[in-house]
Amino acid sequence: MTTTRRCPDCGVGMEEMKMRTTDGFKLQLVTDEPKSGIFGGLGAKEKIKPTVVVCPECGLIRQYADR
């Protein structure tokens, strides 16, 4: 993923950052779609690691679910 996200307010490129909780756990998005593969149908949910970008101008934080 080399696409540069742009701030909707400032129009400048946003910097990708890692976002973690204070406990050090990584954020994770869980969809309602069943996970594909051999574990599909066993109740496993697809998990997505969100991409976090921050605007260096205004500080806006956006999260994208890259699938």
Q: How far apart are CA 53 and CA 15, in angstroms?
A: 5
Q: How far apart are CA 19 and CA 47, in angstroms?
A: 16
The answer to the question of residue 7 lying near Zn ion (CB under 5 A) is yes
The answer to the question of residue 57 lying near Zn ion (CB under 5 A) is yes
The answer to the question of residue 33 lying near Zn ion (CB under 5 A) is no
- The residues, any chain, with a CB within 8 Å of residue 66's CB and separated by 6 or more, are 1, 48, 49, 50, 51
Nearer to Zn ion, 35 or 62 (CB): 62
Least gap, CB of 30 to Zn ion (angstroms): 29
For Zn ion, the binding residues (CB under 5 A) are 7, 9-10, 55, 57-58, 60
